[in-house]
């Protein structure tokens, strides 16, 4: 037996060494046995993992990935393995034969960080639950493996667990023999798939099931067993009818349009707490953040957002699980497609037809924000190692990729786009793929040469910028209109022009009424293009990319901006109005428009906004405009003004209605920025039928302004003493203003005390809600001293959270972009630490760029 101390550097994996291993290892097959007999015992810190791995080899040596507390036994082809070379992450394997069998028994650790095999205990009923999350390379925390996506394998999983537990994996159970109080559940062998997709859920989960039958035009049919799981104390919030309905609608759509039958047998979905992400596409066992189980009710817009995620994860059953990227530089091959499909299929196949609206006004803001940072990268990124791979789960790989794929669909035609997808799956089912594989399929289906298009869109960085250049005569008629584009590849510094196809919508304002004049299709391949069809039109509002067909940062000319201020709510259709709002927001985010102007438009135009999905996003953006892009001295006044708008609208809507809940959500965001109207906010927080999670948002805001005391927060916890309630309470306690509070939060986060990922997130969120930037600025020296320590002692995910969450808040009163003490100190750290791990360096750069954007926008106020 060998015990080990983790070696941080050993956890990293490089593309070059994994490519070399792939040239040696072939046809792996795994049998994995996990013993969870004592998992409910809080004193049990590890579990037994046994792996038998059979593979062929064309070399003399390689290594096995395993992160374990100890290796109990290890053999290669029946001979003991010398474990002295084990460094806590890699176990050397040699000598190899043409056909090999490895047998490993290890003690692996239960995790509370949302990766590996995560264990948690529900304080309401003391039930213990477990689930796995392995993406990108945490399967090695549960079993010995070749941890890289291109070494696909078949897996047979066996789990020993208490007999009263539910145990699920990727495939249906084939046998569950009882052995006293424990049961051994054996699952069927999987089709070929990557190690990061192996999944396990175990515990006394509440379950419900259904069956979906796909009937095809050729007379064939397919039965797919559906299951939903959640912890028992969340069962009342499991909206099984809605979730099953969307699941069935998605399975029908993908069956028809992808032309490849659902390949994974069953379709379970498990909702779990303390999850690091929204959801994960484990084939046959999709895992979900249980925040998607809305406690106390949800608006249709919220359910629509959940539908988009259901369809996002489902599309991965093909894009990512069936046809998998060869290495993590192809992350976009699955995430960009899944992001697009989530919105497109929600729009086309469900009762939630705001998919395109959500993409335009909501999701793409993530992409635009990250694509203008110094840390941006091409969609097809260079990923030298695992640390870089973890950082590319970002707005570029997801939302920008989705937007460019939508542009590709516009470019080649929707039918041709799906024909290309069908060819891609037919050719690469159960295999590994690259950019060239996708382009070959799309070119074959469309008849288009897409290589130049792909280079311009997928292999350069930074957004395109589209600007209207318009002249008018004395009567307001357009005498010339052209669209100019410019762009800079932030990686190379070179200018970049991309091909665009989009629509420009022109509106006229007369006697307070806004009317559409015309929609003009535009093909832009050079620096600019003239629109002679617009000449002579008296257009008061010009909206570029009106149908959101391309990916570009756009702008409003001066006259259009004035018109938006009085008539934006009248723009139709909804998608064009969402694009117009997105344009307005982008101008604020980039420092080209005062947040005060955005607040003016918010105050006058949201009250007439008819689309709940748009209004939901605007409720968030209103608080962001004030809380991030408004100078602190002006923040309380602006927040009070917009807060009053939200309170007035909430009072005018029926309690419990979607509109009422959206406006109350707007109240919650703004009430954290001013103590004005605290009595009215408190009255909302105590409404009897208010959804529990929304009540906590209001509570948190009242705590952030000091309007509610600890005793008030204690009373809220007494009414919701659940796992979720305790986490919300921790955030509210941390949100209280004052230097003393922030010192306590800082100490809790940095003194090395163990805490779950959920609790850490709650404290970080509370830390960033002071009433004064000075509350966090005082921690700047300790922040800079802690950066390298956090990176070395915490997992990468938690370290990145700490670096972003503890970055001091900044205010323009303390200095501009060149002189602000926080910005200059962090820049100095970067200059002095150019030899820091690249992922750490990039994380700090990103946090700095976020603060710089805030100061830049505040300077434009």
Three-state secondary structure of 764-782: HHHHCCCCCCHHHHCCHHH
pLDDT computed for residue 238 by the predictor: 97
Q: How many CB atoms lie within 10 A of CB 712?
A: 15
Cα 276 from Cα 279, distance rounded (Å)? 9
Q: What are phi and psi of 388, to 5 degrees?
A: -65, -35
Residue with tokens 């940062």: 553
Task: Estimate to the nearest angstrom the gap between the alpha carbon of 804 and the chain centroid.
Answer: 16
Does residue 722 register a pLDDT over 60?
yes
Largest CA distance in the chain: 91
Comparing CA positions, the residue from 658, 643, 617, 779 lying closest to residue 705 is 643
List the beta bridge partners of residue 543: 505
Q: How many CB atoms lie within 10 A of CB 176?
A: 14
313 is annotated as an active-site residue:
yes
pLDDT computed for residue 7 by the predictor: 46
Mean pLDDT, to the nearest integer, of 760-788?
91
Which CA distances in Å does 236 have to 207, 229, 774? 12, 12, 43
Average pLDDT, the chain: 95
pLDDT computed for residue 179 by the predictor: 85
Does residue 457 register a pLDDT over 90?
yes
The count of residues in the chain is 861
Does residue 3 register a pLDDT over 70?
no
Cα 452 from Cα 742, distance rounded (Å)? 52
Mean pLDDT, to the nearest integer, of 35-59?
97
Helix 678-685 with 692-704: angle, nearest 10 deg:
150
- Strands annotated E in 525-575: 528-530, 541-543, 552-554
Mean pLDDT, to the nearest integer, of 209-230?
97
Task: Estimate to the nearest angstrom the gap between the alpha carbon of 697 and the chain centroid.
Answer: 21
pLDDT computed for residue 463 by the predictor: 97
Comparing CA positions, the residue from 438, 412, 154, 440 lying closest to residue 320 is 438
Q: How many CB atoms lie within 10 A of CB 488?
A: 16
pLDDT (tens digit per residue) in 352-387: 999 999 999 999 999 999 999 999 999 999 999 998
Do 139 and 147 meet the contact criterion of CB atoms below 8 Å apart?
Answer: yes
CA torsion, points 627, 629, 635, 639, in degrees to nearest 10? -60
Does residue 273 register a pLDDT over 90?
yes
The one-character DSSP state at 808 is P
Cα 49 from Cα 107, distance rounded (Å)? 6
- Cβ-Cβ contacts under 8 Å for 90 (sequence gap 6 or more): 10, 63, 64, 65, 66
Q: How many CB atoms lie within 10 A of CB 624?
A: 18
With vertex at residue 304, the alpha carbon angle to CA 299 and CA 310, rounded to the nearest 5 degrees, is: 130
CA atoms within 13 A on the CB side of 317: 29
Which CA distances in Å does 266 have to 33, 172, 211, 285, 611? 21, 7, 9, 8, 36
The one-character DSSP state at 202 is E
Do 685 and 720 meet the contact criterion of CB atoms below 8 Å apart?
Answer: no
Q: What are phi and psi of 672, to 5 degrees?
A: -75, -10
pLDDT bracket for residue 688 (50, 70, 90): confident
Question: Among residues 135, 156, 274, 313, which one is catalytic?
Answer: 313
Using DSSP, state whether 486 is helix, strand or coil. Answer: strand
Cα 197 from Cα 323, distance rounded (Å)? 12
Task: Output the DSSP codes for 273-285.
Answer: SS-SSSEE--TTE
Does residue 8 register a pLDDT over 70?
no
Backbone conformation region of residue 274, classed left if phi is above 0, alpha if psi is from -120 to 50, else beta: left
Cα 670 from Cα 599, distance rounded (Å)? 12
List the beta bridge partners of residue 52: 31, 103
Mean pLDDT, to the nearest integer, of 218-230?
97
Cα 79 from Cα 567, distance rounded (Å)? 78
Cα 668 from Cα 405, distance rounded (Å)? 36
Task: Estimate to the nearest angstrom the gap between the alpha carbon of 718 and the chain centroid.
Answer: 32
- Cβ-Cβ contacts under 8 Å for 229 (sequence gap 6 or more): 166, 168, 201, 205, 206, 207, 268, 269, 270, 271
Does residue 50 register a pLDDT over 90?
yes
List the beta bridge partners of residue 70: 3, 107
pLDDT bracket for residue 2 (50, 70, 90): very low
Task: Estimate to the nearest angstrom the gap between the alpha carbon of 655 and the chain centroid.
Answer: 31
**Dihedral sign for Cα atoms in the order 319, 320, 321, 327:** positive
Cα 850 from Cα 859, distance rounded (Å)? 14
H-helix or E-strand spanning residue 156: strand 154-162
Q: What are phi and psi of 70, to 5 degrees?
A: -160, 155
H-helix or E-strand spanning residue 487: none
Residue with tokens 């990935």: 65
- Radius of gyration of the chain from its Cα atoms, rounded to whole angstroms: 27
Residue with tokens 């335009």: 360
Q: Is the pTM of this model over 0.85?
A: yes
pLDDT computed for residue 1 by the predictor: 39
pLDDT (tens digit per residue) in 63-76: 999 999 999 999 99
pLDDT (tens digit per residue) in 788-820: 999 999 988 999 999 999 999 999 999 999 999
Which CA distances in Å does 316 have to 244, 402, 428? 18, 13, 14
Instruction: Give a three-class secondary structure readout of 511-538.
Output: CCEEEEEEEEEEEECCCEEECHHHCCCC
Which CA distances in Å does 843 have to 366, 391, 509, 786, 836? 16, 8, 47, 14, 11
Does residue 518 register a pLDDT over 70?
yes
Cα 270 from Cα 126, distance rounded (Å)? 19
Q: Which domains does the chain have, with CATH numbers?
A: 2-204 (2.60.40.1730), 231-462 (1.10.390.10), 772-861 (no CATH)
pLDDT computed for residue 10 by the predictor: 77
Cα 593 from Cα 298, distance rounded (Å)? 34
Mean pLDDT, to the nearest integer, of 193-205?
98
Residue with tokens 């507390």: 69
Which CA distances in Å does 110 have to 114, 142, 253, 756? 10, 9, 39, 12
């Amino acid at each position: 037996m060998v015990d080990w101390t983790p070696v941080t550097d050993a956890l990293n994996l490089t593309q070059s060494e994994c490519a070399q291993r792939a040239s040696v290892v072939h046809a792996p097959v795994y049998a994995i046995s996990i013993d969870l007999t004592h998992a409910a015992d809080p004193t049990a810190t590890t579990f037994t993992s046994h792996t038998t791995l059979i593979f062929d080899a064309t070399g003399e040596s390689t290594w096995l990935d395993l992160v374990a507390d100890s290796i109990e036994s290890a053999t290669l082809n029946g001979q003991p393995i010398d474990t002295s070379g084990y460094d806590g992450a890699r176990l050397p394997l040699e000598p190899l034969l043409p056909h090999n069998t490895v047998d490993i028994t290890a003690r692996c650790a239960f995790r509370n960080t949302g990766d590996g095999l995560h264990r948690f205990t529900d304080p309401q009923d003391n039930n213990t639950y477990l689930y796995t999350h392995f993406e990108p390379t945490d399967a090695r925390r549960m079993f010995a493996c070749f941890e890289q996506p291109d070494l696909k394998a078949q897996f047979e999983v066996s789990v020993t667990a208490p007999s009263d537990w539910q145990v699920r994996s990727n495939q249906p159970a084939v046998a569950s023999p009882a052995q006293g109080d424990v049961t051994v559940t054996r699952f069927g062998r999987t089709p070929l798939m990557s190690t990061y997709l192996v999944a396990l859920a175990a515990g006394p989960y509440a379950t419900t099931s259904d069956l979906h039958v796909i009937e095809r035009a050729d007379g064939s049919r397919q039965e797919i067993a559906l299951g939903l799981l959640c912890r028992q104390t969340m069962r009342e919030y499991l909206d099984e009818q809605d979730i099953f309905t969307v699941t069935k609608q998605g399975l029908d759509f993908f069956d028809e349009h992808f032309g490849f039958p659902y390949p994974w047998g069953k379709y379970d979905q498990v909702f779990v707490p303390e999850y690091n992400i929204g959801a994960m596409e484990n084939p046959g066992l999709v895992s979900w953040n249980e925040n998607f189980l809305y406690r106390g009710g949800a608006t249709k817009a919220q359910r629509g957002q959940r539908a988009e995620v259901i369809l996002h994860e489902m599309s991965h059953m093909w894009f990512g699980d069936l046809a998998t990227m060869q290495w993590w530089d192809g992350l976009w091959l699955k995430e960009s497609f899944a992001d697009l499909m989530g919105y497109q299929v929600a729009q086309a196949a469900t009762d939630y037809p705001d998919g395109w609206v959500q993409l335009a006004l909501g999701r793409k803001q993530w992409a635009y924000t990250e694509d203008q940072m110094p840390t941006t990268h091409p969609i097809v990124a260079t990923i030298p190692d695992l640390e870089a791979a973890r950082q590319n789960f970002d707005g570029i790989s997801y939302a920008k990729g989705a937007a460019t794929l939508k542009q590709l669909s516009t470019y080649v035609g929707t039918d041709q786009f799906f024909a290309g997808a069908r060819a891609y799956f037919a050719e690469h089912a159960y295999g590994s793929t690259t950019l060239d594989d996708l382009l070959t399929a799309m070119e074959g289906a469309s008849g288009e040469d897409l290589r130049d298009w792909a280079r311009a869109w997928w292999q350069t960085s930074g957004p395109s910028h589209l600007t209207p250049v318009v002249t008018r005569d004395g009567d307001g008629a357009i005498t010339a209109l052209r669209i100019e584009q410019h762009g800079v590849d932030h990686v190379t510094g070179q200018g970049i022009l991309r091909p665009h196809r989009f629509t420009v919508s022109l509106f006229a304002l007369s006697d307070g009424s806004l009317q559409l004049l015309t929609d003009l299709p535009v093909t832009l391949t050079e620096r600019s293009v003239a629109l002679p069809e617009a000449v002579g039109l008296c257009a008061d509002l010009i909206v570029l990319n009106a149908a959101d067909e391309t990916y570009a940062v756009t702008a409003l000319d001066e006259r259009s901006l004035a018109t938006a201020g009085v008539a934006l709510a009248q723009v139709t259709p909804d998608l064009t109005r969402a694009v117009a709002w997105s344009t307005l927001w982008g101008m604020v985010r980039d420092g080209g428009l005062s947040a005060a102007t955005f607040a003016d438009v918010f105050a006058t135009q949201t009250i007439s906004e008819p689309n709940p999905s748009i209004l939901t996003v605007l409720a968030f953006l209103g608080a962001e405009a004030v809380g991030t892009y408004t100078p602190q001295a002006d923040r309380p006044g602006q927040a009070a003004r917009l807060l009053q708008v939200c309170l007035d609208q909430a009072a005018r809507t029926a309690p419990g209605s979607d509109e009422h809940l959206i406006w109350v959500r707007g109240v919650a965001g703004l009430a954290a920025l001013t103590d004005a109207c605290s009595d009215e906010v408190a009255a909302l927080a105590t409404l009897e039928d208010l959804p529990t999670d929304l009540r906590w948002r209001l509570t948190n805001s009242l705590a952030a302004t000091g309007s509610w005391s600890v005793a008030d927060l204690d009373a809220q916890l007494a009414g919701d003493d659940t796992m979720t309630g305790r986490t919300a309470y921790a955030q509210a306690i941390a949100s209280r203003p004052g230097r003393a509070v922030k010192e306590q939060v800082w100490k809790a986060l940095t003194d090395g005390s163990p805490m779950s990922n959920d609790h850490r997130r709650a404290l970080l969120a509370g830390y960033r809600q002071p009433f004064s930037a000075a509350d966090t600025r005082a921690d700047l020296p300790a922040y800079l001293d802690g950066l390298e320590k956090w990176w070395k002692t915490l997992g990468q995910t938690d370290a990145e959270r700490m670096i972003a969450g503890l970055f001091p808040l900044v205010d323009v009163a303390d200095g501009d972009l060149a002189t602000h003490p926080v910005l200059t100190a962090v820049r100095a750290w970067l200059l002095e630490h150019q030899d820091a791990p690249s992922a750490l360096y990039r994380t700090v750069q990103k946090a700095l760029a976020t603060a710089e954007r805030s100061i830049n926008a505040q300077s434009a106020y």
